[in-house]
C-alpha cells in the first residue's frame, strides 16, 4: 500500500512536470535560460491544475493543450524510439508521434486533479549535461516543507527553441522509463515497429474506454 501511494505521488508530480514541458523564443541555450524555461513551465502547469477539481475530459483537454503548445512531439518521439526510429517508415513515424502524445494525454491527464493547492516549485542550479542542461528543483506544499527533488533536462530542439526532454523524480526519468519500456516491446517483436504500434493502440482504447 505504501509503495502504491508513493508511485501515485510520483506519477502526479511527474504529470505536472510533463504538462509543463515548455519553451521560449529561439535563443542560444545557457544555464540561466534553462532555469527560466523550467520556472516558467512549472508556473504554467501550477496555474492550470493546482487545487482544481477537473472532470477527466477537461483535465485531458488542458493537458493536451499544453503539450500541443510546448512539447516538440516529433523530436521527443524520435528520442523515445531511439535506434528503432530509423527502421520506421515515414507513415509509422507520424503515427507513433500521434499515438505517443495521445498516450501521455490519456495516461496522465486523468491524474491532474490530484495536484494539491499550494504546490510550489523552487528552481535551483543548472548544470551542463549531454546536449543541454540539467536543472534541479524542489517541489513541495505547505504540508511538505522538505519537498521532493525533481530534475529537468532542457535541450534545444531542431527548430532552435529550448524544450524539456525529460523529468527525473527521485532519480526516475519519465521519458527514459518510457523509452526502455517501448524498447523492450520492440526487441520482443523483432524490431518491427508495428509490434509496438498495435499494443499502444490497444492500450489507448482500454484507457479511453475502460468499460468497453
Specify if 212 maps to a domain.
no
Instruction: For residues 197-209, give the mean pLDDT.
Output: 88
Cβ(176)–Cβ(190) below 8 Å: no
Residue 189 C-beta-side C-alpha neighbours within 13 Å? 16
Specify if 120 maps to a domain.
yes
Q: How confident is the model at residue 50 (pLDDT cuts 50, 70, 90)?
A: confident
Strands 132-140 and 120-129: antiparallel
Return the percentage of the chain with pLDDT > 90, whole number. 36
194 is written with which cell numbers? 508495428
Nearest to 56 by CA among 107, 16, 102: 107
Report pLDDT digits (tens) over 63-96. 887 777 667 888 899 999 999 999 999 999 999 9
**Of 180 and 116, more confident:** 180
The enclosing domain of 91 has a CATH number of 3.10.450
Specify if 79 maps to a domain.
no
Specify if 121 maps to a domain.
yes
Q: How high does pLDDT run on average in the chain?
A: 82
84 is written with which cell numbers? 528503432
Specify if 80 maps to a domain.
no
Q: Does the structure show a pLDDT above 60 at 184? A: yes
* Total domains, the chain: 1
Cβ(34)–Cβ(82) below 8 Å: no
Max mean pLDDT range (7-11, 35-39, 160-164):
35-39
User: Residue 126: which domain range?
Assistant: 2-73+87-207
Specify if 65 maps to a domain.
yes
Amino acid at each position: 500500500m505504501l509503495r502504491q501511494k508513493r508511485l501515485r505521488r510520483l506519477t502526479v508530480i511527474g504529470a505536472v512536470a510533463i504538462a509543463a514541458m515548455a519553451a521560449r523564443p529561439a535563443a542560444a541555450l545557457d544555464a540561466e535560460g534553462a532555469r527560466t524555461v523550467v520556472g516558467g513551465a512549472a508556473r504554467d502547469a501550477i496555474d492550470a491544475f493546482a487545487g482544481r477539481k477537473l472532470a477527466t475530459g477537461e483535465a485531458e483537454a488542458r493537458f493536451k493543450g499544453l503539450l500541443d503548445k510546448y512539447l516538440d512531439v516529433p523530436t521527443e518521439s524520435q528520442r523515445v524510439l531511439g535506434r528503432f526510429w530509423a527502421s520506421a517508415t515515414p507513415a509509422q513515424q507520424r503515427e507513433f508521434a500521434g499515438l505517443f502524445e495521445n498516450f501521455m494525454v490519456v495516461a496522465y491527464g486523468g491524474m491532474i486533479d490530484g495536484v494539491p493547492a499550494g504546490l510550489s516549485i523552487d528552481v535551483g542550479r543548472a548544470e551542463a549535461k549531454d546536449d543541454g542542461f540539467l536543472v534541479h528543483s524542489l517541489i513541495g506544499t505547505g504540508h511538505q516543507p522538505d519537498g521532493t527533488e525533481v530534475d529537468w533536462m532542457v535541450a534545444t530542439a531542431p527548430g532552435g527553441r529550448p524544450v524539456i526532454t525529460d523529468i527525473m523524480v527521485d532519480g526516475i526519468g519519465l521519458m527514459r522509463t518510457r523509452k526502455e519500456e517501448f524498447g523492450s516491446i520492440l526487441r520482443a517483436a523483432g524490431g518491427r515497429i508495428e509490434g509496438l504500434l498495435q499494443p499502444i493502440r490497444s492500450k489507448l482504447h482500454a484507457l479511453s474506454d475502460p468499460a468497453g
